């Protein structure tokens, strides 16, 4: 194993020196960043996992300047291939590409109705998505509950589907920012996920490498989000918007509240069913509100700021695009979704107005029922999850159903109930629902 190397500018770089620089609060040089990210991505043993873990923890504790974040992001992009959708055409005319990314939350199924809704206006939506880990759900896990649907789509097939249908939701190929793939897996097991430089560079390296023309970010804060405070989420949003714009991607962000789960379901097939309700013109108010707000931003970024996306939910065009998108990836949009053979009900133990519904507790409960995985690669239960029967602002009486729990493995009910034990706060007074969208961040 080589522990040191010479780089351009004749700067002598070695891994321990890079770690010490950051540990002591220094700024990493461009050459140090390029060297350490490149060597780690190549997995040839030049930078060991324990060394990168130490560096990641130093970054969590010491932070990074905007220059360092931009360079780290670029180094991750350069570790793989860049996609290019500039050649997409429909009816002989170039198609504009717009993507959306959410920083992750509980009950966050927005991508499912959003991608076909925006695509129904003739915009190409290449949505490379991930799987869930821990308490947050993953878009691919949700869609895989549709019989026949497959997440793997090659680049040529992706381009053809974008030209024909307008939207693709699929897994990112292994050559898209491979440095992030390794780093993310390491961060997940070393307590180094919640760091603005690491979150921003991880998300933006993939989005920039994906080659989208415009990007709308849904940056969440609150108990069910990676970052708990609105101030930290604002800083993350500002950092990501600056990174995107500097790379030539029209980027903007909404700050959204993730203290309370989105909608009335958390769990894969349950969330698909709720998304289909939204596409049919119904669905929970908060899911519709956020879908429409993000659709307006995406359409505006694509130069279609004068259309009202509510029209294509009401008119059925978004549903038609959804059905075509699911079919194009082998899925049957008419097939019944899997249903759990076992259910259990959690009831209110007193009267009052619901003043809080903790997103983290609901996410953990759904995960314990089998909706999420504890280690990468584990199978999830498509049918597992939680249906919520009341949201903050609703009046409940002792004995009213608060949650229905669904699973294939009823021995999980005890742990899921424990997670939900203090999920609900009841008060006496009327409670106004907190605003879902608290700000918009642009350059």
Among positions 203, 243, 362, 380, the unique one binding ligand URA when judged by CB under 6 A: 203
User: Which residue, 176 or 279, is less far from ligand URA as judged by CB?
Assistant: 176
Distance, C-alpha 361 to centroid of its chain:
18
The token pair that represents 32 in the structure block: 């140090």
Among positions 199, 348, 361, 388, the unique one binding ligand URA when judged by CB under 6 A: 199
- Please pick, among 142, 206, 234, 373, the residue that the annotation labels catalytic: 206
Stretch that binds ligand URA, among 81-89, 197-205, 347-355, 388-396 (CB under 6 A): 197-205
Is residue 135 part of the annotated active site? The answer reads no
CA distance 194 to 406: 30
Size of the site for ligand URA (CB under 6 A): 6
CA distance 311 to 270: 25
At residue 439, the 3 state secondary structure works out as: strand
The token pair that represents 96 in the structure block: 């504009």
- Please pick, among 99, 108, 180, 218, the residue that the annotation labels catalytic: 180
Stretch that binds ligand URA, among 169-177, 195-203, 294-302, 383-391 (CB under 6 A): 195-203
Angle between helices 155-164 and 317-328 (to 10 degrees): 150
Is residue 109 part of the annotated active site? The answer reads no
Contact of 113 with 312, CB cutoff 8 Å: no
Among positions 51, 97, 127, 202, the unique one binding ligand URA when judged by CB under 6 A: 202
Is residue 202 part of the annotated active site? The answer reads yes
First-residue to last-residue Cα distance in the chain: 44
Smallest distance, Å, CB 302 to ligand URA? 23
184 touches ligand URA (CB under 6 A): yes
Smallest distance, Å, CB 352 to ligand URA? 36
Stretch that binds ligand URA, among 1-9, 33-41, 196-204, 359-367 (CB under 6 A): 196-204
At residue 321, the 3 state secondary structure works out as: helix
Cβ of 5: how many Cβ atoms within 10 Å? 13
CA distance 170 to 389: 31
Point out which residues bind ligand URA (CB under 6 A): 104, 184, 193, 199, 202-203
As annotated, the active-site residues are: 101, 180, 187, 202, 206
């Amino acid at each position: 194993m080589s522990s040191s190397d010479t780089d351009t500018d004749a700067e002598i770089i070695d891994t321990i020196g890079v770690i010490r620089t950051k540990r002591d609060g220094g700024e990493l040089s461009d050459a140090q960043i390029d060297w350490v990210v490149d060597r780690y991505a190549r997995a040839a043993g030049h930078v060991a996992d324990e060394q990168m873990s130490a560096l990641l923890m130093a970054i969590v504790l010491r932070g990074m300047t905007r220059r360092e974040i931009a360079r780290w992001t670029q180094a991750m992009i350069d570790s793989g291939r860049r996609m290019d959708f500039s050649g997409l055409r429909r009816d002989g005319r170039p198609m504009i590409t717009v993507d959306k990314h959410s920083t992750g939350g509980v009950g966050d199924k927005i991508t499912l109705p959003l991608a076909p809704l925006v695509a129904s206006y003739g915009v190409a939506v290449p949505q490379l998505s991930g799987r869930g880990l821990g308490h947050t759900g993953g878009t691919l896990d949700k869609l895989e509950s549709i019989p026949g649907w497959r997440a793997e789509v090659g680049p040529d097939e992706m381009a053809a589907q974008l030209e024909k249908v307008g939207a693709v939701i699929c897994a990112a190929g292994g050559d898209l920012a491979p440095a992030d793939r390794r780093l993310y897996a390491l961060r997940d097991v070393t307590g180094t996920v919640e760091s603005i430089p690491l979150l921003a560079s991880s998300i933006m390296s993939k989005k920039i490498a994906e080659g989208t023309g415009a990007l709308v970010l849904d940056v969440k804060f609150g108990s069910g989000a990676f970052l708990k405070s609105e101030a930290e989420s604002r800083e993350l949003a500002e950092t990501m918007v600056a990174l995107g714009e500097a790379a030539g991607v029209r980027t903007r962000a909404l700050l959204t509240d993730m203290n309370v789960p989105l909608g009335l379901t958390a769990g894969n097939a349950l969330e698909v069913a709720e998304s289909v309700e939204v596409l049919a013109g119904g669905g929970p108010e908060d899911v519709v509100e956020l879908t429409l707000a993000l659709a307006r931003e995406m359409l505006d970024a694509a130069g279609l700021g004068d259309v009202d996306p509510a029209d294509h939910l009401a008119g059925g065009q978004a549903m038609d695009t959804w059905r075509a998108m699911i079919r194009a990836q082998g899925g049957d949009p008419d097939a019944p979704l899997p249903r759990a053979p076992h259910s259990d009900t959690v009831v209110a133990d007193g009267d009052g107005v619901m003043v809080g519904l903790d997103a983290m507790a609901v996410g953990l409960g759904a995960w314990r029922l089998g909706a999420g995985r504890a280690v990468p690669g584990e199978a999830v239960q498509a049918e597992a999850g939680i249906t919520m029967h009341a949201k903050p602002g609703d009046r409940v009486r002792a004995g009213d159903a608060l949650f229905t729990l669904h699973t294939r493995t009823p021995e999980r009910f005890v742990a899921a109930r424990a997670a939900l034990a203090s999920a609900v706060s009841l008060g006496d007074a009327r409670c106004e629902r907190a605003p879902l969208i608290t700000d918009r961040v642009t350059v």
